[in-house]
Amino acid sequence: MAHSLLSCGNVFHWFKRREIVLITALLGGFVFLCTTRSSGGEFNAVVSIGDTAPTWKDLVGVDDKLHSLADVADKAFVLVIFTCNSCPYAVDYESRFVDLETRLGGAAGELAIIAINVNLIEEDRFAAMKQRAKERNFQFPYLFDESQAIAKAYGAARTPECFLLDGDRKIAYMGSFDDDSRGLIVTHRYVEEAIESLQNGAPVRVQETPPVGCAVRYSRSREGRKTS
């Protein structure tokens, strides 16, 4: 009888140990999931504020030269803009991009503006980009990435979509250029306000906004064929 009770006691303690191990494993898994969640900002599924910016190398520009992020290593700030020719939102912003380049960019300025197009439809092809840059007198690089890899690396979803990089090439702001795509009643110039904060060594107050514009035309495979 004593032997039976002892056996029952051993079985009871064995089940208790199994229960503790199971609970510990479940808690450990929960902590792992919480601490290894996918990165991404509030409005960006891929990158977050403070992330080191994805780099690129040898993207062709409308000047027929190959460009890399390292080309502007001497600049205090870099504004990467994913844009295109065909989106009316992007077109509405072009004059504001040119104006910002005139005031803060150029050889003597602190800011480098780099526009990148990844759309593959006819209106956004390289020849059309060259024509647009000439018509609008772009003084900043306008690059084409047929692979679309750089836009995916940034998690760009709209045209135009802005990413301001600080001196360490970390993302300091991302989202819309300002708060009125039409440019009629602009009350917050998000990009310029972020640049001013960085210039003054102050925290960027608004670090992320939802991008407004046309969807980036990412290619997708369907039955072995690519579409855009």
- DSSP annotation of 89 reads H
Q: What is the pLDDT of residue 47?
A: 98
Domain count, the chain: 2
CA dihedral 78, 79, 85, 87 (to 10 degrees): 160
What's residue 41's pLDDT? 85
Are both 213 and 172 inside the same structural domain? yes
> CA angle, 52 as apex, 65 and 149 as ends, to 5°?
50
What is the Cα–Cα distance from 28 to 39, expressed in whole angstroms?
Answer: 20
DSSP string, 56-69: ---EEETTS-EE-G
Say if 105 falls within a structural domain. yes
Average pLDDT of the chain is 85
> What are the pLDDT digits (tens) for 162-217?
999 999 999 999 999 999 999 999 999 999 999 999 999 999 999 999 999 999 99
For residue 54, which phi and psi values (nearest 5 degrees)?
A: -60, 140
Q: What is the mean pLDDT of residues 6-26?
A: 40
Domain contains 64: yes
Give me the domain span that covers residue 29.
1-37
Q: How far apart are CA 19 and CA 25, in angstroms?
A: 10
Beta-sheet strands, E only, within the chain: 59-61, 66-67, 77-82, 111-117, 142-144, 158-159, 161-165, 171-175, 214-215, 220-222, 225-227
CATH classification at residue 159: 3.40.30.10
Question: How far is it, in rounded angstroms, from Cα 68 to Cα 15?
Answer: 62
How far, in Å, CA of 29 to CA of 23, rounded? 10
SS3 159: strand
Residue 31 and residue 76 in one domain: no
69 and 32 within one domain: no
Q: Are residues 63 and 4 in the same domain?
A: no
Q: Judge whether 48 lies within some domain.
A: no
Q: Angle 197-202-207 (CA atoms, 0-180°, nearest 5)?
A: 60
* Residue 40, pLDDT score: 77
Is 132 inside a domain boundary?
yes
36-80 confidence digits (pLDDT tens):
334 678 999 999 999 999 999 999 999 999 999 999 999 999 999
* Dist CA 97 CA 102 (whole Å): 9
